[in-house]
A and B are shown apart, each in its own frame.
Chain A
């Protein structure tokens, strides 16, 4: 049993994450001046769904926070109060807190209860403030002030206290004398309430059975009681409460909703709903005079119309994607990879056949090749994710940081639908966050300074992702101060780095990627410690990518990250040593050359160096390192591949270059263990395994 619950936990946690992410992006997108009601509703729904789920699994802390959150949100969406930026802040904090709670439940951790209390308090106080302000704004917000009597037909009082508290927020509440336990029927009178009937029913049905209440308008002349929109409000309830666990509900819901659309149907549905409670039938049903029916029913189609598209949209979204274990996808990719190799082998063999004799076979083989290629492409695309998964977090980062540093910053994101491998998307988050923090802290100037320089007060940071060849390029640009070449050079000299004034701008800018390098005059808690840029570069290089910097002093800078489309494929140069074929990742090769004997120098006890355009580079013979028998012993007989990483170079002696190709990267560690100087393996066209050299390891092998 407990195992069963655990399964649902996982679904719940995943849903919570989704709802929180959704909530955050909505909150960040909201225009504080004129918030869209749809957005507020969406935020409310997200909070409400979390609350519902948390309630089911008895995560009381989450229920509590979401409840308070919801109360405030509810006021906002009912336009009882005005959205302020403090509220957004509080909402975002609540989102963070909920994420923490979720993690705590997931990993049996604990959440700082003081934090929870502080947040609840701030939310409550915002809620209270808003209550006060809403009363002053009451007159123009909701003009209708009506007195009502609310009669409860059930004796269940579990939630009544909460309900009464909620009701008290609408207006003055007084208990009627009929409140007796034995009759199971009691009523309260709500006066000076500035709510519409819909909102009131919404609120009440939240706490109690929809069919168990009657709201009566207490008007001066006549007492027009109106039947409850039981069915409709039940929809609202169901819609809010559908956590996605129970697929049937929304379906049933939408079906029923469409049924209520035509006006005449409503009464029949309402009748059906009321019919199961005979006591109510007599009391409530008789009130449907023609006139009242019209007035009551009017708002219905409107609301159902408004809701209907949303529910269809969400259901179409849920049906358009499925969750699949990544292992299964990887297995599929492996199998297709195998198919491609088999197909390549067939093609190889078929090349020996006489084309005129075997024309049909050869034709079919060509067709097979095309089909396999298509299949491989489709399968690879399964692992692809839009980069928006990483980008989505940045509005928050920018908002929080710019607030903290009192800078004004707009964030532009272009091309967030660009897709790349899931593994890459996940690994990109940290480096990109770092670059953005850097741009905010160092790039964008303070508003006063910007104005003084004739720039717009608000700086702009743009994230731009696009495809270029077989790569994805992500540019992080700001229109800030730009990199100061002189300052970097001075700092480099100070740190004893080997620099000269003749270095190109790009070379100078690359210096900021050295470990511990920072030109910030003072260290802030945001950045400036010089830790980070080197990590950024290392991370990107580990992903098989490159980092470039373009900068104009005073105009801003752009950092370009160039990544392969997928982690699983890399551009490699295959090289031969003896009978062995190895792959070197192309990103690390700066050039290949055939050295002249006079350029090879042996340094006693320190090995061999090769002179390349006046620079001495240490030489590493692969056959010696790997103990491979080969005919090539003299560097001048073979080929030198210059490997470069982190401004360090090594010349690798190989027998010959075989060719350049894209290879599918496989881990050796899945079934074996890490091997020195080998970063992985790949399968060649003939089905054999070729090992991929670890260029970084080889370069540092010389030290």
Chain B
């Protein structure tokens, strides 16, 4: 018991070093029953799901491309990708448009909740999950009141091979 605690402590310090001691803003969204958080600075805008042009022979979670004020932006559906939530498209379907490393990508989620601020103390190390989301894409768990947020390292996730959004070098 003692050991585990000290172990968490070092990890905790590690996380606070990584994220800095200041509070950070996170945009929270839901996928199925789970609540997720991403760094607010990666979010460009939030918009409805509308007129997506599909691209042939792509993985099913890549819904296609949209015209975002003259820019062609790919849309991925996280619900399909992670097998969560109801995959239906209607007027309330939300797309979070991210701007990561000068690339713009939209992701479909079940719903956007709010923006919250988390201090490093509120971020705990993530335990080993099931297979839904690889731990390497999880920054940690944020705890606010009774809610628990899964904080995603969205930059790594979106540029990962499995998202198939970026051309992978052999």
Contacts and interface: CB of A to CB of B under 8 A. Distances in A.
A673 B70 contact: no
A667 B69 contact: no
A689 B65 contact: yes
A320 interface: no
A671 B103 contact: yes
A334 B69 contact: yes
Contacts of B165: 672-673
A683 B70 contact: yes
Contact of A678 (B51, B55, B67, B71): B55
Contact of B67 (A580, A674, A683): A683
B150 interface: no
The listed residue with most B CB atoms (<10 A of its CB), out of A666, A683, A687, A689, is A689
A318 interface: no
B105 interface: yes
A583 B106 CA distance: 24
The listed residue with most A CB atoms (<10 A of its CB), out of B58, B70, B74, B103, is B70
Contacts of A628: 56
A356 interface: no
Interface residues of A, number: 31
A337 B67 CA distance: 11
A691 interface: yes
Given A671-B74, A681-B65, A691 B53 contact: yes
B70 A335 contact: yes
Given A690-B53, A691-B53, A668 B72 contact: yes
Nearest to B65: A689
A668 B72 CA distance: 6
A73 B166 CA distance: 55
Contacts of B138: none
A368 to B, nearest CB: 18
Contacts of A669: 167
Nearest to B55: A675
B80 to A, nearest CB: 17
Given A580-B54, A677-B56, A683-B67, 7 more contacts: A337-B70, A338-B69, A671-B72, A673-B165, A681-B53, A686-B51, A689-B53
A689 B56 contact: no
A220 interface: no
Contact of A691 (B55, B70, B103): B55
The listed residue with most A CB atoms (<10 A of its CB), out of B64, B65, B66, B72, is B72
Contacts of B54: 580
B56 A672 contact: no
A671 B67 contact: no
A683 B53 CA distance: 10
B25 to A, nearest CB: 24
Contacts of A496: none
Contact of B65 (A334, A672, A677, A687): A672
B73 interface: yes
Contacts of B72: 666-668, 670-672, 681, 689
B127 to A, nearest CB: 34
A443 B104 CA distance: 51
Interface in B57-86: 57-58, 64-67, 69-74
Contacts of B51: 686-689
Contacts of A667: 72
Contact of B167 (A666, A673, A678, A688): A673
A676 interface: yes
A625 interface: yes
Given A671-B103, A671-B105, A627 B74 contact: no
Interface string A60-74: 000000000000000
A689 B71 contact: no
B120 to A, nearest CB: 32
A676 B67 contact: no
Nearest to A690: B53
Interface string B82-117: 000000000000000000000111000000000000
Contacts of A334: 69-71
A687 B103 contact: no
A671 B98 CA distance: 11
